[in-house]
A and B are shown apart, each in its own frame.
Chain A
Amino acid sequence: MRELRIHGRGGQGSVTAAELIAVAAFEGGMHAQAFPAFGVERRGAPVQAFVRFDNKKIRLRSQIYEPDYIIVQDSTLIKDVNVFFGMKEGGIAIVNTEKAIDSPVPKGVKVITIDATSIALQKIGLPITNTALMGAFAAASGEIAFAALEDAVKRRFRGDLATKNIAAAKAAFDAVKGAA
């Protein structure tokens, strides 16, 4: 079983991102589970959402404390929240930022930075980064195929909005693949 923890702020679509990633993983033939860590959500407050992937039925219901992957939707969270908590050696952290990370990162964790906000503004016209970060996650982790991601986005959004979100995901996917 592999585990993903998404750190975001209320309103940034962390829960939607978790659901879409789980849907894409399921479409790709895996078992997947997505759930939010419900707190007292306000816009801008730190929030978390979780995804598990396995090739068999997932029974575990606890929150995720030792993730294989994290997605950080807003790099300003790093100074408020220990986003790297529990990360294992060999883990992958995908961080939305236009700069390099200047905070300490656990040993053996690979950090991939992506300017998802600029991609989202360019492709969608809004600073909603979850589909761009999904693209980056698909490229970095290999847990979901891009075609499955596309299916999941099309199921959630209609028409033009789906097209724009897929474009954002593709741009981030290509950027991460290109950098690798």
Chain B
Amino acid sequence: MLQITEGSLAVADAVGKCRPQVIAAYPITPQTHIVEALAEMVANCTIDAEYITVESEFSALSACLGASAAGSRVYSATTSQGLALMFEVCFNCAGMRLPVVMTIANRALGAPLSIWNDQQDSISLRDSGWLQFYAEDNQEATDLHYLAYRVSEDHSVLLPSFVCFDGFILSHTYEPVDILSQEEVDRYLPRFRPFQRLDADDPISFGLFAAPDYYMEFRYEIDQAAKKALSVFPKAGREFAELFGRDYSGLVESYRMEDADCALVAMGSLCGTVKDAIDDLRDAGRKVGLLKIRTFRPFPAEEVKKALSGVSRVAVLDKNISLGSKGAVALEVKDALYGSQIPVHDYIIGLGGRDVQKKDIARVVTLAEEGKGDLYYGLREEVLK
């Protein structure tokens, strides 16, 4: 049923309906409303889960790791410095092939301290083995949780997932969201069926020790599993579309890309503003389109290459910066297009919550057409002196 609600509350509702058995999280802005709502659901017995209160994010994800290894469907949520504190446990979850699902309310990393949005936090965990899905609006943010459990728990994948939605810009926005009923979610997401689990009567061990003669093989298998998600995610998206009509089967999504001369590439809530900007530019006769990246990990290089094959130039909007190199999305796009003659321009934009308006998108398109790229968009003049 279509309801108007806050993004965080819509996400908490969706998570509750995924029937997690163990939730462990530590509150941090702008993720707090999600875990507050879930703690309330547990306290009121509206969901049948164990809520473990912990003293840090490191402990939160450690508790999830243990509970997942013991055979439970688990959930956590965090952002920014909280995710940074989970770094070690993130690699362990992926290495032990535990299908943990965690919401990231994307936020900048300090120092300097910033509570505002960019995507540096989840992007910085790109090499951890976690799958990463990015939401454009709160409908997609809620729905991606259902898909994330399906994909993570698929026995051919067995890797944890981040569902990323932009902090404040989505987490604190009220907008209409179609809220699924418990029966509807149950039809899509079956009860958790662990591939293997800790069992005192039938002991196994997780994640112990690999000497040089075996470590590489483990890494290879994790990498293969992540790539397997390139086919499992579209299937999960198609099945969701069959039941509820909303189609997330694309690892990428094209908007007005037919006959586009300049393609913008973006992830997350920025895509909404970009679509409105594109409509204005199209009205003015400019041939511009958007390629939205839904799954950053695994990276859909083939789909990106195919979608961008006909354009004259590409402008990537990166809400992150791999310091000393480039924006992380641009690096991937350049890799996908390697060997083609299509220029790829990178624009670092909207870091630390700097607002991005339609006119900024129009300006980026003009810069790309002039061949001016690989820059921080909208910097204060004084730092360039």
Residues of A that sit less than 8 Å from B by CB: 18-19, 22-23, 26-27, 31-36, 38, 58-63, 65
Q: A22-B4, A32-B4, A38-B115 are in contact. Are A61 and B172 (CB under 8 A)?
A: no
Question: Could you jot down 27 A-B contacts, CB within 8 Å?
Answer: A18-B174, A19-B6, A22-B174, A23-B4, A26-B176, A27-B4, A31-B176, A32-B4, A32-B174, A32-B175, A32-B176, A33-B174, A33-B175, A34-B174, A38-B30, A38-B115, A38-B116, A59-B272, A59-B275, A60-B273, A60-B358, A61-B169, A61-B270, A61-B356, A62-B273, A62-B356, A63-B355
Q: Name the A residues within 8 Å of B176 (CB-CB).
A: 26, 31-32
**Cβ contact within 8 Å between A35 and B169:** yes
Q: Which of B272-309 contact A (CB under 8 A)?
A: 272-273, 275-276
Closest B residue to A23 by CB, please name it.
B4
Q: Name the B residues within 8 Å of A38 (CB-CB).
A: 30, 115-116, 168, 172, 353
Q: Report the minimal beta-carbon distance from A73 to chain B, rounded to whole angstroms.
A: 18
Closest A residue to B273 by CB, please name it.
A61
Decide if B269 is an interface residue (CB 8 Å cutoff): yes
Closest A residue to B6 by CB, please name it.
A19
Closest A residue to B271 by CB, please name it.
A59
**Cβ contact within 8 Å between A60 and B174:** no
Closest B residue to A20 by CB, please name it.
B174
**Cβ contact within 8 Å between B273 and A36:** no
Q: Report the minimal beta-carbon distance from A45 to chain B, rounded to whole angstroms.
A: 15
Q: A59-B273, A60-B276 are in contact. Are A65 and B357 (CB under 8 A)?
A: yes
Q: A22-B4, A38-B115, A38-B116 are in contact. Are A60 and B173 (CB under 8 A)?
A: no
**Cβ contact within 8 Å between A19 and B174:** yes
Q: Report the minimal beta-carbon distance from B279 to chain A, rounded to whole angstroms.
A: 9
Residues of B that sit less than 8 Å from A by CB: 4, 6, 30, 115-116, 137, 168-169, 172-176, 269-270, 272-273, 275-276, 353, 355-358
Q: Report the minimal beta-carbon distance from A24 to chain B, rounded to whole angstroms.
A: 10
Q: Report the minimal beta-carbon distance from B30 to chain A, rounded to whole angstroms.
A: 8
Q: Report the minimal beta-carbon distance from A3 to chain B, rounded to whole angstroms.
A: 12
Closest B residue to A15 by CB, please name it.
B172
Q: Report the minimal beta-carbon distance from A169 to chain B, rounded to whole angstroms.
A: 19
**Cβ contact within 8 Å between B4 and A59:** no
For the complex, give the distance between the alpha carbons of A31 and B173 in Å. 13
For the complex, give the distance between the alpha carbons of A62 and B353 in Å. 11
For the complex, give the distance between the alpha carbons of A61 and B174 in Å. 12
For the complex, give the distance between the alpha carbons of A149 and B270 in Å. 31
**Cβ contact within 8 Å between B174 and A62:** no
Q: Name the A residues within 8 Å of B175 (CB-CB).
A: 22, 31-34, 58
Q: Name the A residues within 8 Å of B272 (CB-CB).
A: 59-61
Option from A27, A34, A59, A63 in Cβ contact (under 8 Å) with B276? A59
Q: Name the B residues within 8 Å of A35 (CB-CB).
A: 168-169, 172-174
For the complex, give the distance between the alpha carbons of A19 and B7 in Å. 12
Q: Name the B residues within 8 Å of A58 (CB-CB).
A: 175
Closest B residue to A31 by CB, please name it.
B176
For the complex, give the distance between the alpha carbons of A60 and B137 in Å. 10
Q: Report the minimal beta-carbon distance from A176 to chain B, rounded to whole angstroms.
A: 24
**Cβ contact within 8 Å between B357 and A62:** yes
**Cβ contact within 8 Å between B137 and A59:** yes
For the complex, give the distance between the alpha carbons of A60 and B359 in Å. 12
Closest B residue to A60 by CB, please name it.
B276
Q: Report the minimal beta-carbon distance from B304 to chain A, rounded to whole angstroms.
A: 22
**Cβ contact within 8 Å between B137 and A36:** no
Q: With A32-B176, A59-B272, A61-B272 given, can you name 10 additional A-B contacts, CB distance below 8 Å?
A: A26-B4, A31-B176, A32-B4, A32-B175, A34-B175, A35-B174, A36-B168, A58-B175, A59-B137, A59-B273
Q: Name the B residues within 8 Å of A60 (CB-CB).
A: 272-273, 276, 358
Q: Name the A residues within 8 Å of B137 (CB-CB).
A: 59
Q: Report the minimal beta-carbon distance from B272 to chain A, rounded to whole angstroms.
A: 4
What are the 9 tightest A-B residue pairs by CB atom distance, in nearest-first order? Answer: A59-B272, A26-B4, A35-B173, A34-B174, A62-B357, A33-B175, A60-B276, A61-B273, A22-B174
Q: Report the minimal beta-carbon distance from B83 to chain A, rounded to whole angstroms.
A: 19
Q: Name the A residues within 8 Å of B276 (CB-CB).
A: 59-60
Q: Name the A residues within 8 Å of B356 (CB-CB).
A: 61-62
